[in-house]
Chain A
């Protein structure tokens, strides 16, 4: 198993192709179900911020889930068990990076599954997918 990491945000041109790629996993166009976000660092002249799950080894989102719907993923990050999730949104608040998004239609979090679709569609090598680096924190 691997996880997504951000190589260098200075290479990001803000094209958002990664966001569209993520949403396409669900077979739809648009951006509603994207689990990655690219926005400017206060105006495009200052470059861009990449907001995506970094696959924590010890994820804060998991700790605040009241129904154990979030389970640790072997390679970092979490896996959502849709059945157990009650849509409380605690995980969204707990993520330090703001990298948990929301599916309004299902009223449940949108959580990166580290599939690598975004990496494949980044023409500038901003993102990479790599095996887990276990730093034990």
Chain B
């Protein structure tokens, strides 16, 4: 490595309010950074069968050799044991997190133990400040927490400010960590792990420089990458309509999960499409640090007060495809302003939008079918009823009774307690992403290390099969999905945003790595990807994950995809093939 600051790992012990730094060139040379280093640290630091909400569960943040060096290397990886699934917790976020951590002089941060009193951490200039956060604990709105910390801490423009809302404090299993504003370590419950440690926020500030091997070569490679990112049409969709462009595409191809996946299409989906939001609500576009794409789309919602109609509040609310799916079509909320209010509430409370939406959709159907009484829910949930969904979100956070305590643990838990398993959209304990495109998407959710659409992008294979009218056989599908998930381990170790995967080809990655002192070849990269994925799956198995006990929601078999009805046998075969291969392949 040309720069040695990457190999520094900052350890923070919240129990004793102390910190130290370890140098781990072994890890960073072999596994690059990000997911690779975090997976290794998780296996070392998290004791077997640890309570995800106990002090023994570590929180690991890791960046990689290209962060702070090349554009769109703009993400940070968080790893922990997930309170939602009971095994691998991994979530990625942008904002300014990766720039700040890398330029503060760290490759990874490991947070251990639990504080007796609420604290937030202020990390800068080689120091860690343990700041009392009892005044911030219990605050109703995550935006306010950000405002207070912004005023109290130095380093505007050069810092990341990760924080939890009420949902994290109340240990909702799918609570998120908000970074800056509008970006999240959303999935798998990192917010609850923060909450269990009485850790309200982490501020990291840094602006150091990073040495490269050959400045001239660095500038040239930088220019090539920058030009390919700013000129390529691959970025256009993220740039113009943002990820919300998917709404119309998926609706038209009959793969937009609607009404808890009873349907895959609605004539009203157009109201909540990227096109509709950009015409009627788009107020500002922003970007993560070191990303010229600016995919973050903020809607402007102007609401008058009922107490005085001449008073208004104007909120800026970030919208993306996954939020529109989970809180919109899945709940049949087709009012664009109503949907924005739900997105805002999820941001205020600090929850994962996908898990929240899927949970509410299950609860609505369960109530409709009589599995749960109105007495238990305390209100009548009905499709499209924004006001009652807003109330239900707040009750999931406050958990006034057994029913909401169960909802706060996710759909897998709630449906095993109250029945309604057949229409619980959960895969390995994680709530379903918004693509009912065909078998590859679902084999992907079942097999991906995080049970996320981002693990291996099965939806993309389905969409290709649909356009080319050439069905993919399960054996080939598994090979393609697995190769994709393995390659994504390399990208998430560097740590490159997956939106730039078309630009950061193996050739470009090798060239970029060479300027920072890594001498690797394509085969070497491929082996690193394989090995990292194997570590992640090993962690899952160690913590009790068994792919043969994975449940397949009946609902996905009943509702046809654009590629026809799914067969359980085919999905099972795919899972078996995939995980046998994923666990078998390793560096020899």
Contacts and interface: CB of A to CB of B under 8 A. Distances in A.
B377 to A, nearest CB: 34
A27 B285 contact: no
Interface string A93-120: 0000000000000000000000000000
B133 interface: no
Contact of A43 (B68, B150, B287): B150
B292 A15 contact: yes
A121 B286 CA distance: 16
A47 interface: yes
B207 A45 contact: no
Interface string A17-50: 1001001101111111110011110111101000
A124 B68 CA distance: 21
A16 interface: yes
A32 B292 contact: no
B140 interface: no
Contacts of A28: 209-212, 215
Interface string B197-222: 00000000001111110011011001
Interface in B282-339: 284-294, 298, 316
A14 B285 CA distance: 9
B69 interface: yes
Given A37-B157, A42-B150, A29 B289 contact: no
Contacts of B150: 42-43
B99 A45 contact: no
B226 A121 contact: yes
A8 to B, nearest CB: 13
A135 to B, nearest CB: 29
Given A45-B316, A121-B226, A29 B99 contact: no
Interface in B82-116: 99, 102-103
B290 A38 contact: no
B71 interface: yes
Contact of A20 (B146, B158, B290): B290
Given A39-B157, A40-B156, 17 more contacts: A13-B294, A15-B291, A15-B292, A16-B157, A20-B71, A23-B209, A24-B219, A27-B216, A27-B219, A28-B209, A31-B99, A31-B208, A32-B103, A39-B156, A45-B298, A45-B316, A121-B292
Interface residues of B, number: 44
B470 interface: no
Contacts of B146: 43
Nearest to A103: B209
B207 A30 contact: yes
Nearest to A23: B209
Given A13-B287, A13-B294, A44-B180, A31 B68 contact: yes
3 tightest A-B contacts by CB? Answer: A27-B215, A39-B157, A32-B209
Nearest to A34: B207
A44 to B, nearest CB: 5
A28 B143 CA distance: 35
Contact of B208 (A30, A40, A44): A30
A44 B68 CA distance: 20
A27 to B, nearest CB: 3
Categorize the interface residue count of chain A. Answer: 20 to 34
A14 B183 CA distance: 14
A33 B210 CA distance: 11
Contact of A16 (B147, B180, B290): B290
B292 A31 contact: no
A121 B146 CA distance: 30
Contacts of B208: 30-32
Interface string B56-69: 00000000000011
A27 B212 contact: yes
Given A27-B218, A44-B181, A14 B286 contact: yes
Nearest to B2: A29
Contacts of A88: none
A66 to B, nearest CB: 28
A15 B294 CA distance: 7
A123 interface: yes
Contacts of A31: 68, 99, 103, 158, 207-209
B286 to A, nearest CB: 5
6 contacts: A16-B290, A29-B70, A30-B209, A32-B103, A40-B157, A123-B292
A132 to B, nearest CB: 28
B68 A30 contact: yes
A84 to B, nearest CB: 25
Contacts of B373: none
A44 B219 CA distance: 29
A38 B292 CA distance: 13
Contacts of A15: 287-294
Nearest to A37: B157
A17 B226 CA distance: 10
Contacts of A124: 294
B230 interface: yes
B182 interface: yes
A14 B218 contact: no
Contacts of B288: 15
B182 A123 contact: no
A89 B37 CA distance: 41
A120 B162 CA distance: 32
A42 B149 CA distance: 11
Given A28-B211, A42-B150, A45-B316, A13 B286 contact: yes
A51 B223 CA distance: 24
B298 A16 contact: no
Given A15-B294, A44-B180, A44-B286, A38 B157 contact: yes
A43 B148 CA distance: 11
A47 B288 CA distance: 13
A13 B289 contact: no
Given A15-B291, A23-B209, A30-B210, A123 B215 contact: no
